[in-house]
Amino acid sequence: MIRYILRRLLISIPILLIGSFLCYVLVATAGNPLAEMRAKPGVTEAQVQQVANELGLNRPVLVRYWDWLTNFVQGDWGTSVALGQARAEVQPAIMDALWTTGRLVLGAELLALTLGVAVGVLAAVKQYSIFDYLATSTAFLMFSMPIFCVAVIIKNYGIQFNNVLESIGLQRWLTTAGPREGGFSGSIGDAIFKYTGTFLLPTVSLMLISFAAYSRFERASMLEIMHSDFVRTARAKGISQSRVIFRHAFRNALIPVATLFSLNFGAVFAGAIITETVFGWVGMGTRLVEAVRNFDPSMLMGWLAVTATMVVLFNLVADIVYGILDPRIRLG
Amino acid sequence: MANVNLTSASLPPAGVGTDSSHEFDAATTRTQGQLVLRRFLRHRMAMISFGVFIALVVFAFIGPLVWSYDFEDVSSKAYQAPSIGHPLGTTQVGKDMLALLMRGTGYSLQIALVVAALATVIGVVFGALAGYLRGFVDNALMRLVDLMLIVPQIAVAAIVVKGFSGSWYVVALVLAAFAWMSIARITRGETLSLSQREFIEAARACGATTPRIIFKHLVPNMIGSITVNATLAIAAAVLTEAALSFLGLGVRPPDTSLGVIVQENYGQFLNRPWLFWGPFVVLVSLSLAVNFIGDGLRDAFDPRQTKVRA
């Protein structure tokens, strides 16, 4: 098992290196932060040259990439050219954003996975029942839904729900524009109230889309396995229905979902960016939009590198889970 | 699957049924393509969806020729409620929403079709090459797939659009560059198993070149999954383009797309709901219709898989 994990880890390092290099070249060729600076009124050529020297923009791309890489792995991610007047460090800005987005993604993905698998299994076991039709059509509908529309709809019904709460004399519960100021202080009940109010709507919006994919996938793979020979053999031996479903079918039906989970991560991350934008959270989405608007190379590179690393890490986790679920992969 | 065989074995053989129009005639055996077409035409959801899709195409490309407002026309009064003159109201700058929607649907469709076509061609060629040649080519191409999967699409697309141009074809090219990987993987898998078969061996023994084997022998045998996945790629491209434009990182004015329209108007959800629901309905029916067509095609190409959707 350890050898298997190590092998997966070793494969991902060169891919990350090549990926980061290509991203660097792209960022370096796609835009020129100096041109953006020059376009601003009241900026003299001397100031532009000074920034160019500070950022090392006068040197060849390969050298700059190497510098960036060595600095990056040592924790120096460069400074932003845009964030406010004082040049901000990229690393804290991105780490803050990652924390915001990460909480959202993790919660939503765990919920989506649990619910999706449960619904998928139930739909497969009770194939062609009302529950199955309901689950399948909901999943199909959500699968075809643009996530930003879902988020907008949920947000606005949240606002109306708050209005209703207020009209019957209660406190507004759901937060629809940015995370609550001042953290989750107060008594335990108060903190839970604030916490759920803040996370509920964005998490649900993000969850719905992944949930659709997981339940569809789980249903399909569960159905396939329920019709396979070894399940029929288990039934023929007289093993109880629940044991057949959970011991024989369910475990094997999880394998394709593990693949989907790892392949899906990039899409979920993109979904999180959009959800955040709608709900006004300052997370990775806001950072990306800002960095692209101002054409901020250090910020963009930090963003790309962190995101790519997250995807690789998730793939690794999925691979390990995959290895646990399926001995053929671990030993093969 | 076994139950199906049992029941069909107990039925009278085909052609003995009471329906005289289905008389069995050895002279009019159908080709594979005709069989698939028949099955698709009888798939009710797929046919309804096909109708919706055609309606949307007409709406997007014929609509602007007939409709009285142009999408760039800002002469109307701002924020009018729906009326006979403006069935979906007008926007903040006084554009007619219906005209805007026609144009947006057109751009979204154009982008999605180009993305799907490019992604399918790249994916099939790469996948077939990797699966057929194996060894070094396979390794290199599959590592390329891994690489493309870890680079965040939305960011790269945003950077390219910002750095070069926000025209619809640039958006389409970038999205296509990130859409071919799943098709390549599927094609590779099928090629791996197909190239073990005797007819490929025979073709090779006859001296057929690699391109000939790929395009004349392998691709026609995979046409089912290629078509299905190309259709699903259209649906995915519609949603990705909309999401990118929604963030303001995709198609930029004066070009417009469904994502741009939603982005410009979603703030009016509570006060002027029609400005949100109009584009929403078009966007969702477009992606639903294409997904249903894909589902119908899957059933038509592979009737054994019916009802087991992945």
Q: What is the amino acid identity at position B202?
A: A
Among A26, A152, A223, the residue with its CB nearest the CB of B266 is A152
What pLDDT, on the 0 to 100 scale, is given for residue B15? 41
Contacts of A236 in chain B (CB under 8 A): none
B291 CB within 8 Å of a chain A CB: yes
Among A22, A144, A269, the residue with its CB nearest the CB of B291 is A144
Which 8-state DSSP code applies to residue B217? I
A280 CB within 8 Å of a chain B CB: no
Q: Which residue is closest to A218 within chain B, CA to CA?
A: B310
What pLDDT, on the 0 to 100 scale, is given for residue A185? 59
CB within 8 Å: A30 and B163: yes
CB within 8 Å: B308 and A223: yes
What pLDDT, on the 0 to 100 scale, is given for residue A82? 62
Distances (CA, A) of B10 to A120, B15, B306: 33, 15, 21
Q: What is the Cα–Cα distance from A288 to A282, expressed in whole angstroms?
A: 10
For residue A239 the two structure tokens come to 């093993």
Q: Which residue has the higher pLDDT, B170 or B125?
A: B125
CB within 8 Å: B153 and A221: no
User: What predicted TM-score, i.e. pTM, was given to this entire model?
Assistant: 0.80
Mark which residues 131-160 of A lie under 8 Å from B by CB.
Answer: 136, 140-141, 143-149, 152-153, 156, 159-160
State the ipTM, two decimals: 0.78
Nearest to A315 by CA among A251, A269, A250: A269
Enclosing H/E stretch for B20? none
What pLDDT, on the 0 to 100 scale, is given for residue B143? 85
3-state secondary structure of B254: coil
Alpha-carbon Rg for chain A, nearest whole angstrom, is 24
What pLDDT, on the 0 to 100 scale, is given for residue B76? 67
Residue B191 has pLDDT above 80, yes or no: yes
B/e letters for A182-217, b = 16+ CB within 10 Å, e = fewer, are: eebeeeeeeeeebeebbbebbbbbbbbbbbbbbbbb
Nearest to A145 by CA among B63, B262, B186: B262
pLDDT band at B11 (very low <50, low <70, confident <90, very high): very low
Q: What is the 3-state secondary structure (H, E, C) of A222-291?
A: HHHHHCCHHHHHHHHCCCCHHHHHHHHHHHHHHHHHHHHHHHHHHHHHHHHHHHHHHHCCCCHHHHHHHH
Enclosing H/E stretch for B16? none
pLDDT band at B12 (very low <50, low <70, confident <90, very high): very low
Evaluate the CA torsion angle B2, B8, B14, B20 in order and state its sign: negative
Contacts of B149 in chain A (CB under 8 A): 263, 266, 311
Residue of B159, B174, B186, B261 for testing the chain A interface, max A β-carbons within 10 Å: B159
B140 CB within 8 Å of a chain A CB: no
CB within 8 Å: B291 and A292: no
Nearest to A284 by CA among A276, A294, A292, A293: A276
Q: What is the Cα–Cα distance from A281 to B266, expressed in whole angstroms?
A: 17
B/e letters for B123-148, b = 16+ CB within 10 Å, e = fewer, are: bbbbbbbbbbeeeeebeebbebbbbb
Cis upstream peptide for B254 (omega within 30°): yes
What pLDDT, on the 0 to 100 scale, is given for residue B3? 40
Distances (CA, A) of B35 to A51, A223, B304: 67, 26, 14
Largest CA distance in chain A: 85
Q: What is the Cα–Cα distance from A249 to A135, expressed in whole angstroms?
A: 20
CB A200 within 8 A of CB A174: yes
Contacts of B291 in chain A (CB under 8 A): 140, 143-144
Distances (CA, A) of B127 to A331, B130, B229: 26, 5, 13
Q: Which residue is closest to A123 within chain B, CA to CA?
A: B308
A31 CB within 8 Å of a chain B CB: yes
The residues that bridge with A79 in the sheet, in sequence order, are A89
CB B177 within 8 A of CB B183: no
What pLDDT, on the 0 to 100 scale, is given for residue B19? 46
CB B93 within 8 A of CB B78: yes
For residue A220 the two structure tokens come to 């399909």
- Residue A79, phi then psi, degrees to nearest 5: -115, 150
Task: Give how far A265 is from chain B: nearest CA, Å.
Answer: 9
In this prediction, residues B275-293 reach a mean pLDDT of 87
| Spatial CB neighbours of A243, under 8 Å, sequence gap ≥ 6 | A234
Q: What is the Cα–Cα distance from B256 to B99, expressed in whole angstroms?
A: 11
Q: What is the Cα–Cα distance from B288 to A141, expressed in whole angstroms?
A: 7
Enclosing H/E stretch for B14? none
B308 CB within 8 Å of a chain A CB: yes
What pLDDT, on the 0 to 100 scale, is given for residue A320? 80
Task: Give how far B199 is from chain A: nearest CA, Å.
Answer: 29
Q: Which residue is closest to B280 within chain A, CA to CA?
A: A149
Q: How far is CA B304 from the centre of its chain?
A: 23
CB within 8 Å: B150 and A159: no
Task: Give how far A187 is from chain B: nearest CA, Å.
Answer: 34
| Spatial CB neighbours of B179, under 8 Å, sequence gap ≥ 6 | B115, B116, B118, B119, B233, B236, B237, B240
Q: What is the amino acid identity at position B230?
A: A
What pLDDT, on the 0 to 100 scale, is given for residue A260? 80
Per-residue pLDDT of chain A (332 residues; tens, 9 = 90+): 778 788 878 888 888 888 888 888 888 777 666 666 676 677 777 777 777 776 666 777 788 888 888 888 877 777 776 655 456 777 778 888 888 888 888 888 888 888 988 898 888 888 888 888 888 888 888 888 888 888 888 888 888 777 787 777 676 666 666 665 555 556 666 667 767 777 778 888 888 888 888 888 888 888 888 888 888 898 898 888 888 888 888 888 888 887 787 777 777 888 888 888 888 888 888 888 888 877 777 888 888 888 888 888 887 887 787 778 777 766 65
CB within 8 Å: A289 and B248: yes
For residue B17 the two structure tokens come to 């049924």
Q: Which residue is closest to B265 within chain A, CA to CA?
A: A152
| Spatial CB neighbours of A112, under 8 Å, sequence gap ≥ 6 | A206, A207, A208, A210, A211, A214
What pLDDT, on the 0 to 100 scale, is given for residue A182? 53
3-state secondary structure of B46: helix
Largest CA distance in chain B: 73
Task: Compute the mean pLDDT over every residue in chain B, rounded to the nearest whole number.
Answer: 79
Contacts of A274 in chain B (CB under 8 A): 243, 246-247
pLDDT in tens, B94-135: 677 788 888 888 888 988 999 999 999 999 999 999 888 888
Q: Which residue is closest to B284 within chain A, CA to CA?
A: A145
Q: Which residue is closest to B292 within chain A, CA to CA?
A: A140
CB within 8 Å: B146 and A18: no
CB B126 within 8 A of CB B140: no
Mark which residues 224-253 of B lie under 8 Å from A by CB.
Answer: 235, 239, 242-243, 246-249
Q: Which residue has the higher pLDDT, B57 or B92?
A: B57
Residue of B49, B56, B150, B185 for testing the chain A interface, max A β-carbons within 10 Å: B150
Q: What is the Cα–Cα distance from B234 to B229, expressed in whole angstroms?
A: 9
User: How long, in residues, is chain A?
Assistant: 332
Nearest to A178 by CA among A78, A254, A285: A285
| Spatial CB neighbours of B136, under 8 Å, sequence gap ≥ 6 | none
Q: What is the Cα–Cα distance from A332 to A330, expressed in whole angstroms?
A: 6
CB A204 within 8 A of CB A308: no
What pLDDT, on the 0 to 100 scale, is given for residue B117? 93
Query: How many CB pairs lie under 8 A apart between chains A and B?
Result: 136
What pLDDT, on the 0 to 100 scale, is given for residue B308? 44
Q: What is the amino acid identity at position B303?
A: P
Q: What is the amino acid identity at position A83?
A: L
CB A107 within 8 A of CB A114: no
Mark which residues 161-190 of B lie under 8 Å from A by CB.
Answer: 162-164
The mean-pLDDT minimum among A43-47, A108-112, B16-20, B206-210 falls in: B16-20
Among A18, A31, A140, the residue with its CB nearest the CB of B147 is A18
Task: Give how far B163 is from chain A: nearest CA, Å.
Answer: 4
Residue B16 has pLDDT above 50, yes or no: no
Residue B271 has pLDDT above 80, yes or no: no
Among A15, A216, A288, the residue with its CB nearest the CB of B155 is A288
The residues that bridge with A234 in the sheet, in sequence order, are none
Q: Which residue has the higher pLDDT, B21 or B5?
A: B21
What pLDDT, on the 0 to 100 scale, is given for residue B125? 92
CB within 8 Å: B288 and A148: no
CB A209 within 8 A of CB A154: no
